[in-house]
Amino acid sequence: MTIVNADDQTGLYLLTPPKIDLAVFPDLLKSVLDTGAIDCLQLRLKDVSDDEIRKAIDAILPLCSDRDIPLILNDRPDIAKKSGVDGVHVGEEDASYDEARAIMGEEHIVGVSCYDSRHRAMELGEKGADYVAFGAFYPTQTKEAKTSVTPEIIEIWTTFTTVPCVAIGGITADNLGPIVEAGADFIAVTGGVWRHPDGPETGAKAIKAAIAAASD
């Protein structure tokens, strides 16, 4: 299994906010997914209990499954495998790619953060990673970025390999153009949707419209 774009344009890979309230978040997420702008969703919860992660999956997975949107869990292949999500995303300080793949099997998505390292991306791509993520492209409020990159890393990557790449880090409707033009398969967004001044639905639509404009 792999993540795929709904069309030939760069896809929108949405991350959940760092903290979510399950009393209200599922309805908010449903309204965002119903815009048709989202191609993939990553559940990214840090510093919460395993039980909270499982409860979040139970609430979110049906919304994604009903709309054929892959749900990726950040960091925890052990929970991901048992919970029925479509895949897992691991960073350098999380479970290793080899560990994640051994747990998830070949039928599930395993994506990896590669930061500013084409070497790490090439190594893990050759091992079978379903996608690699580069960043941060811009300053971000979601997490402290250890590395920064430019669209050139996307241009070089897409020239030499067909392994899908995800661009992440401070990306909004206003600044995504050069990344789309460089050939990114997906743009990962958190604040550009959830913190949009006119609400997350508008944020998702704005990013999808900006992708379309940059693709012309």
* pLDDT digits 0-9 by tens, 40-91: 999 999 899 999 999 999 999 999 999 999 999 999 999 999 999 999 999 9
pLDDT for res 145: 79
The secondary structure of residue 174, as a DSSP letter, is: T
Burial zone of 149 (CB within 10 Å; 0-12 exposed, 13-18 middle, 19+ buried): buried
Provide the CATH topology of domain 11-215.
Answer: TIM Barrel (3.20.20)
Q: Does the pTM exceed 0.75?
A: yes
Report the pLDDT value the prediction gives residue 82, as an integer from 0 to 100.
97
pLDDT of residue 17: 94
pLDDT at residue number 36: 97
Handedness of CA 133, 193, 14, 80 (dihedral sign): positive
Residue 131: closest CA among 151, 103, 154, 152: 154
Of residues 46 and 187, more confidence is placed in 187
Distance set, CA 183 to CA 76, 154, 162, 171 (Å):
29, 6, 11, 15
Triad 214, 216, 169: Cα angle to 5°: 20
Domain regions of the chain by residue span: 11-215
Residue 184 CA to residue 193 CA, distance in Å, equals 19
- The average confidence (pLDDT) of the chain is 95
Please state the rounded mean pLDDT for residues 90-118. Answer: 96
Question: pLDDT over 90 for what percent of the chain?
Answer: 90
Greater confidence (149 vs 143) lies with: 149
Secondary structure (3-state) at 72 = strand
What stretches of the chain show up as alpha helix (H) in DSSP? 25-33, 50-66, 77-83, 97-104, 118-127, 152-160, 177-182, 191-194, 200-215
pLDDT of 27 above 70: yes
Q: Residue 149's pLDDT band (boundaries 50, 70, 90)?
A: very high
Is residue 124 a contact partner of residue 112, using CB atoms and an 8 Å limit? yes
User: What mean pLDDT is predicted for residues 198-205?
Assistant: 98
| 69 close to 34: Cβ distance less than 8 angstroms | no
Residues 6+ apart with CB under 8 A from 124: 97, 112, 114, 132
pLDDT value for 136: 95
